[in-house]
């Protein structure tokens, strides 16, 4: 009997302390994403190629069959990701993460390889494991170049 009471008290104490921790953690406020009108246009051949390269045979099931996912990727590629040459930032080697450190997003295509050179006409930002849908904006340096990938936050904080 005493053992049962002891375990009940310990269990109740654990629940109480967990609730206290949960109440003290700050929650991130989410906001609706505001899309530009350009996401209404169909995927371009280049965008479709980028998605196909990364998702392979899962493209239809995971992206194209879900209108919201298609809209999110169009918004990402058209409005949120930009690649800029910024020689002034190259000196700060430890401040920016290299895309090679982020690694490849090869969950659906094991044959993806890192780009040895940056070519704007063939570069596929989607094949890297970058924080596209995280909170806040991100910046990554393309290895051995003066080019940086800037990923704008999908929501604007007030």
pLDDT of residue 23: 46
Considering the domain boundaries, does residue 97 fall inside one? yes
The pTM for the full model equals 0.76
- Cα(51)–Cα(53) distance, integer angstroms: 5
Strand pairing report for 147-151 and 138-141: antiparallel
- Cα(119)–Cα(58) distance, integer angstroms: 26
Considering the domain boundaries, does residue 129 fall inside one? yes
Considering the domain boundaries, does residue 83 fall inside one? yes
Considering the domain boundaries, does residue 157 fall inside one? no
Considering the domain boundaries, does residue 25 fall inside one? no
Asked if residues 156 and 36 have their Cβ atoms less than 8 Å apart, the reply is no
- Provide the 3-class DSSP secondary structure of residue 98: strand
Asked if residues 147 and 99 have their Cβ atoms less than 8 Å apart, the reply is no
pLDDT tens for each residue of 9-54 = 555 556 555 554 444 455 556 667 888 999 999 999 999 999 999 9
How many separate domains does the chain show? 1
- Provide the 3-class DSSP secondary structure of residue 85: strand
Asked if residues 146 and 85 have their Cβ atoms less than 8 Å apart, the reply is yes
- End-to-end Cα separation, the chain, in angstroms: 57
Asked if residues 69 and 105 have their Cβ atoms less than 8 Å apart, the reply is no
- Cα(132)–Cα(76) distance, integer angstroms: 8
Considering the domain boundaries, does residue 26 fall inside one? no
Considering the domain boundaries, does residue 115 fall inside one? yes
Angle between helices 45-55 and 67-75 (to 10 degrees): 110
pLDDT of residue 124: 97
Considering the domain boundaries, does residue 110 fall inside one? yes
Q: What domain range includes position 120?
A: 37-151
Q: Output the tens digit of pLDDT for each of the chain's 158 residues.
A: 666 665 565 555 565 555 544 444 555 566 678 889 999 999 999 999 999 999 999 999 999 999 999 999 999 999 999 999 999 888 876 788 999 999 999 999 999 999 988 999 999 999 999 999 888 899 999 998 999 999 999 876 55
Q: Is 151 exposed, middle or buried (0-12, 13-18, 19+ CB in 10 A)?
A: buried
């Amino acid at each position: 009997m005493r053992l049962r009471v002891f375990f009940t008290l310990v269990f109740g104490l654990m629940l109480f302390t967990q609730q206290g921790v949960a109440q003290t953690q700050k929650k991130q406020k989410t906001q609706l994403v505001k899309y530009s009108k350009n996401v209404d246009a169909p995927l371009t051949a280049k965008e479709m190629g980028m998605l196909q390269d990364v998702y392979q045979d899962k493209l239809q099931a995971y992206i194209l069959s879900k209108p919201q996912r298609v809209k999110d990727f169009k918004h990402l590629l058209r409005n949120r990701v930009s690649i800029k040459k910024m020689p002034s930032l190259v000196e700060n080697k430890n401040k920016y993460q290299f895309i090679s450190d982020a690694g490849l997003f090869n969950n659906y295509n094991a044959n993806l390889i890192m780009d040895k050179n940056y070519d704007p006409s063939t570069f596929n930002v989607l094949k890297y494991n970058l924080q596209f849908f995280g909170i806040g904006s991100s910046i990554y340096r393309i290895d051995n170049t003066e080019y940086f990938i800037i990923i704008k936050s999908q929501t604007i904080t007030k």
